[in-house]
Amino acid sequence: MEGEFINTLRSIVTVLGLVCFLCICYWAWSKHARAGFDEAARLPFADDDLPEHPAEKEGIKNA
C-alpha cells in the first residue's frame, strides 16, 4: 500500500516537472520574451563607450 503511494507520488512529481520544463521552454522561445533577451545579450558591450575611471588614468589602484 505504501509502495503504491510512493510510486504515484513519483509519477505526479515527474509529470509536474515535465510540465514546468515545457512551460519554461515555451516562455524562453516566445516572441514577447525575445526583446528582453536581445537587450540582455547586448549588455556586455554596453559600457564600451564609457570614459575611463580617473584613478585608473593616473595609475592609482585600490588595494
43 alpha-carbon distance from chain centroid: 14
pLDDT at residue 31, rounded to an integer: 85
pLDDT at 25: 94
DSSP state of 30: S
Q: How far apart are CA 22 and CA 25, in angstroms?
A: 5
Distance separating the N- and C-terminal Cα atoms of the chain: 65
The tens digit of pLDDT for each residue in 8-60 reads 999 999 999 999 999 999 998 888 888 888 898 898 888 766 566 666 556 66
3-state secondary structure of 41: helix
The reported pTM is 0.56
Amino acid 53: pLDDT: 64
User: For residue 61, what pLDDT band results from cuts at 50, 70 and 90?
Assistant: low
C-alpha distances (whole Å) from 22 to each of 9, 19, 35, 38, 40 are 20, 5, 21, 22, 22
Please report the pLDDT score of residue 6 as a whole number.
95
